[in-house]
Amino acid sequence: MLRYYTRACNFYYGRASKILVKKKRSVPLNGNSEISFDQVELISRKSKKIFFINSLVNLPKFQRKKILVDLKKITSKKKNFANLNFLKLPNIMGVLNLTPDSFSDGGKFNNKKSGIKKAFEMFKSGANIIDVGGESTRPGSKGVNEKLEWKRINEILKSTCKKIPISLDTRKSQIMKKGIKLGIKIINDVSGLKYDLETINVIKKYKIPFIVQHSLGLPENMQNNPRYKNELLDIYDFFEQKIKFLRSIGIKHNNIILDPGIGFGKNLKHNMNLISNISIFHSLGFPILVGNSRKRFIKELSGKNDTKRRIGGTTASSLFLMMQGVQILRIHDVDEILQGVKVFKELINN
């Protein structure tokens, strides 16, 4: 039987959204009247069609039932955790790479003094949580051993974890355990809990919130001609299967975030399809995180207008993602992106 997927679409934001929700002409995302939608796209691997929510009664029974089940997940309120507020869009995860070779800021903050200063600066600027990592996972990078990774992040975690919310960007179970004991709030494993099989047991034992990211292959080979049957639906299926597996082994809490992994085993076509249709992942029922900051797709789209920090492209894509209801943006330039968000919100509500 043909499988269908539901994507919320035709979003409204701010004052216009509140008015439409009050008139019952649009439906709030996650119970948040500041962002709502009045259409859904019903997608299969063979077709796609958009419907107004108030016209679903005219659909065949099995299609209508599928959409109504998904709408319940899309509209349900999300419980806040780890200093993230899902009635406030967007939440910002500030990026702190404590590595010499990260793709855009390698070597810039990989000493104790500069790293701690940067973490507090981003939090003070408005980041909800700071994502600390000691191993570069940029395309083409090679892994580092556990001892070196911990050496890079140990002192900075000790100086920050008790004072500001910290997310730990690591693929290794032993690093996770040590970070949890210091007080980190979220585990961010870019491998989708596949790199180190023991990470599953750490997540289960400590009941800690975590991010499931999709990636194809390893950083050293993930950009070598990545292929999908349908990247959007393949990644949706990956998340659905991963959550089903996690539930089956006893991980029952809902403090889970989904990250489609822009640039992790994806070419420009894959990335653009994912970003353009990102709202499909709302029907899985979990908050969405996107790491769009300074990514290669900005260079590929902007051509001769590419810049080192890619603030223009990051701001543009951040506003687009916010308007699709993405709850968390993983950002390097916190001040600049929040500046853009604040100005945009004032203009749209004026």
295 carries an active-site annotation: yes
- Of 1, 4, 14, nearest to 51 by C-alpha is 4
330 carries an active-site annotation: yes
Candidate list 118, 185, 295, 296, residue with the active-site label:
295
Residues 199, 180: contact at Cβ < 8 Å?
Answer: no
- Take residue 77 and report the two structure tokens written for it: 């309120």
- Take residue 13 and report the two structure tokens written for it: 């934001």
Residues 209, 187: contact at Cβ < 8 Å?
Answer: yes
Q: Where are the alpha helices (DSSP H) in the chain?
A: 15-22, 61-75, 112-125, 146-160, 173-182, 199-206, 231-248, 268-276, 296-302, 311-323, 334-349
DSSP designation for 192: S
| Omega before residue 90 within 30° of 0, cis | yes
- Of 264, 262, 257, nearest to 216 by C-alpha is 264
Q: Which residues are catalytic?
A: 295, 330
